Structure 1
């Protein structure tokens, strides 16, 4: 996977945060789900908390350090374990959580005297509609209040979080469950690898499948990300011989991949994080001790391997912060965080080596999507065109404190919502029991 053109990013490296400068005793959930188990923005870090009974997630402040342990600020209210967390791209203090209890909850992070306040059953809203556990949450980085979720009844839902309503539902293939969801950089489509060994792309507004093609030959976990600039989709998965595999295809001719490479025989699913500004994809595997990087190019070969990195221990959870969180004074192009096997939560800055790093390096920092919505959800759903609101990182000033403009429209009391959900579940169980009785009576009559 080498080529003739010299890459600006061929020597990317990281300087992992020292354990003495990081958070310690971070009890991330040991649940065996395929979510990233960690979320990050410029201000906070959130992760499903390892607890028995009910469901909680912890929130920590970026830049902090020291032992956390059982003193983690917790957000509690789910009736079963939390499986995923995601921050609003437009409000650092708004976070969503997904749970085995089939609900999604929206929360506001509040501080008192510089410390994050615990939050027990104080969610802003509860989103109900999934029939089984919810394992993935992905916000749209351009459309205000748009959140996509994946439930194990094999359905993707698009939510208007300001109204607490699902505005679209995508049913999965009958012969294979969806494995992952990610938005396109234009904010209009979702890419969905599935256990039917195919890659699916849906136009969310039109409610139509725009692409369906063969993907990795193994039903084991697969992930996918768009790279709109070159009309690419990059996927990770497994070969028929259980090798971890990467694959790149052009959306305009998806049936034949541009390039397929076997990587290694590690067991963990490779999680790709796409940097659309620089065309670099970073692949982390849970249980791995490092990461692999690739530059996606128009000329051959389209996948160019770059230098990766190795840690002293394995990674249990990983998250990519928004581009506006990077430190341009050290030529950090992407800001990752990871929870390691020793329960440390560390910062992993991905750095391009430059002699004059203190001077702004415009060639590695093109304008990027900022923390302001480009369009409202209703306007977008009605066919409105998205014009991304970009910022220049040379002049961009990061807010010193989260300032939430988010609000939830008045909804019925949360207890009423939960009561309706419990009543519906009880009715379903009663109907199942009645059906079983009738089937038994029919069988008895046939036997007479």
Structure 2
């Protein structure tokens, strides 16, 4: 008889557990929109959730410590005139969050350290350039103040947020609705999946297609894709018989997938979350009541099923905590914020270990909050790897969060519309006049100083 060999993995016994009821966020009217985004974003300070709002769009931002029942009158961020479709915290400043809406705009908000005490209606910056609703947002992983947005106008825009400028506009590549768009680890490539049944790797600054794969999944339902280790790509989609699938691709050989696995016949789109430190990918389905996790390795079948967390209630959205927000002394390797009908419930993934000591094999140096390149440098072609930090003593902000500075004098150039050129020329003229006045004032002061010196 042949003996079945069990694959060795330190993550074989990862298990998920919901926190106690008093650590959940209750009585929140989660948005009823059917859009397939996460509806939630989280960082070591705040958790944000898209909520129902009358007469526009809104989302709620709560300090992580504000658990329990949330009062109906709790202030929201409510500056959009249409429903909010996606939100994402800035990776380089925990107080900055971006929101995309049906009103075709992207707004950047600054949240006070203690949370909101009154409704927030005025964004720090408003970015206008899309002609249809904006459903996907993603901050650049290493460049400061670079934001990618994708809209239902089939356009991807890369913004320099500090001056509100649409620097790159990719509008000739996608022929249909964009399902997903994400960066690779150093932000040198963009991966998109589209309703035209094509998965594309793009050069973000040139806006050109580097490589593409038609029909990564045979079915006609939405495909999601993310970069995983070594530049490989993991995609989720549907077979021709509407079975949910997960596939792993090598962009150097896009003809056949490295592996293609069928999961089940549920209808919810699978949202993939990849952890580069552990090589684990978590699949969360909209409308599911479970989170599956797989380990991505170099050995066949490359995507190894580990386990599944299940609960009774189905999820309407999901937030994924950055590594620096985890409790390393409890061997916590991931934390999700699962949205139900009326509440947000944290789910903790841990590796059981008997020792209380820091487990170096579970926590290699991870991406920190410090950007490695400025927006202008990156748009000019500079590449930079993420700046890594150690979690040995838990995450401590050794440097002040990268301050969010807006060049207000340049903000009139925000929109990508034709009318903005007149605004910008007028703005430039007023700046020139200001400089002229300052020069005249300096000359006058220099003259007076000379006169005073000659008297002495």
Q: TM-score range by the shorter chain?
A: 0.7 to 0.9
Match of 2:166 in 1: 166
Name the CA distance, whole Å, in 2 between partners of 1:402 and 1:316: 35
1:65 aligns with 2:85: no
With the length of structure 1 as denominator, give the TM-score of the two structures: 0.88
Q: What secondary structure is seen at the aligned counterpart in 2 of 1:6? A: coil
Q: What secondary structure is seen at the aligned counterpart in 2 of 1:378? A: helix
Q: Please list the CA deviations of residues 31-88 of structure 1 after superposition, one character each: whole Å capped at 9, or x if unmatched.
A: 1111110000110011212012112111111132121142333111111111111111
Match of 1:361 in 2: 359
Match of 2:278 in 1: 278
**1:409 aligns with one of 401, 407, 410:** 407
Q: How many residue pairs were aligned?
A: 416
Name the CA distance, whole Å, in 2 between partners of 1:376 and 1:115: 28
Distance 1:349 1:244, change over 3 A: same
Q: What secondary structure is seen at the aligned counterpart in 1 of 2:167? A: strand
Q: 1:106–1:123: 8 Å Cα contact kept in structure 2?
A: yes
Greater displacement, 365-374 / 405-414: 405-414
With the length of structure 2 as denominator, give the TM-score of the two structures: 0.86
**1:50 aligns with one of 49, 52, 56:** 52
Name the CA distance, whole Å, in 2 between partners of 1:417 and 1:117: 29
**1:35 aligns with one of 34, 37, 47:** 37
Q: 2:164–2:411: 8 Å Cα contact kept in structure 1?
A: no
TM superposition shift of 1:347: 1.2
Name the CA distance, whole Å, in 2 between partners of 1:369 and 1:125: 26
Match of 1:23 in 2: 25
Name the CA distance, whole Å, in 1 between partners of 2:227 and 2:60: 30
Greater displacement, 387-396 / 303-312: 387-396
Q: What secondary structure is seen at the aligned counterpart in 2 of 1:20? A: helix
User: After TM superposition, what 4+ stretches of structure 1 lie above 4 angstroms from structure 2?
Assistant: 172-175, 400-404, 411-414, 420-424
Name the CA distance, whole Å, in 2 between partners of 1:19 and 1:145: 37
**2:76 aligns with one of 71, 74, 77:** 74
Q: 2:158–2:167: 8 Å Cα contact kept in structure 1?
A: yes
Match of 1:347 in 2: 346
Distance 1:183 1:174, change over 3 A: closer
Q: 1:156–1:170: 8 Å Cα contact kept in structure 2?
A: yes
Q: 1:192–1:199: 8 Å Cα contact kept in structure 2?
A: yes
Distance 1:232 1:106, change over 3 A: same
TM superposition shift of 1:423: 8.7
1:374 aligns with 2:376: no
Give the alignment's Cα RMSD to 1 decimal: 2.3
Distance 1:4 1:21, change over 3 A: closer
